[in-house]
Structure 1
Amino acid sequence: MKKFRSFLRFLLGLLVIASLAGCAASKHYESTGEYIDDSVLTTKVKTSILGDSKLKVLQIDVETFKGIVQLSGFVDSQEAAERAVDLARKVRGVKQVNNSLIVK
């Protein structure tokens, strides 16, 4: 009986370690908290762009990974691209903005 309890404790410990390791972030993967934070940043950037009458939010895609925002899609002018980047940079929590917007 004593060995069985020790074995169960060992298995429980392994389970805890495995589940915590699954939540850890790495260079290419986000933790659950980072994913949620990035989702909030993406929403804030989209809202900022949507609130600007000079930009068409449906033409600009926003993705965030570990605080780095990627803007892609099409804009009507270089000024619109610069405006979108500027709005994204002003969002609190954004570490960097990568501009992949294409002027059509």
Structure 2
Amino acid sequence: MRNAPYIKSRLLIVAAFALPAFVFTNGCKSTATPSVTAPGEIATDDATLAARVKQALVADPGLRSLPMSVATYRGVVQLSGYVDSEVQIQKALAVTRGVPGVQSVSNDLHLRPQ
């Protein structure tokens, strides 16, 4: 039983280092954020904004079948791809600007070669 104080002191030292480690790692857990906003709300993150823009483009019958890509960064939406007419480009830009949360639109849409 001579080693009992030695073992107790070692256990206290280990506990003293382990407890703060558990506390700090518990504080590093990520929290889930809602990815879908209600129709009246403004989208705050880029992924949600891109989803809302894609949804608006697909809802338009004249733009539904066109191969367009949507990318967002801090509220700036970039449309890229190929369309059949200048009217479709203007319509896609108008629909995108109408989505709440869009700060500006970067147009990288091109007419398909005939």
TM-score of Structure 1 vs Structure 2, range by shorter chain: 0.5 to 0.7
Residues 52-87 of structure 1: per-residue CA shift (max 9 Å, x gap): 233244411112233322211001122211211111
Out of 4, 11, 31, the position equivalent to 2:21 is 11
Q: Which residue of the partner structure matches residue 84 of structure 1?
A: 92
1:29 corresponds in structure 2 to none
Report how far residue 101 of structure 1 moved: 0.7
Q: Which residue of 2 aligns with 1:43?
A: 51
TM-score when normalising by structure 2 = 0.62
Moved over 4 A (4+): none
Using the alignment, how far apart are the partners of 1:3 and 1:48 within structure 2? 60
Higher helix share: 1
Compare CA radii of gyration and give the structure with the larger one.
2
Match of 2:102 among 77, 80, 94: 94
CA deviation map 1:23-70 (0-9, x unaligned):
6xxxxxxxx749x44333222212211222332444111122333222
**Unaligned regions of 5+ residues in structure 2, if any?**
1-10, 36-44
Report the RMSD for the aligned CA atoms in angstroms.
Answer: 2.6
Sequence identity of aligned pairs in percent?
A: 30
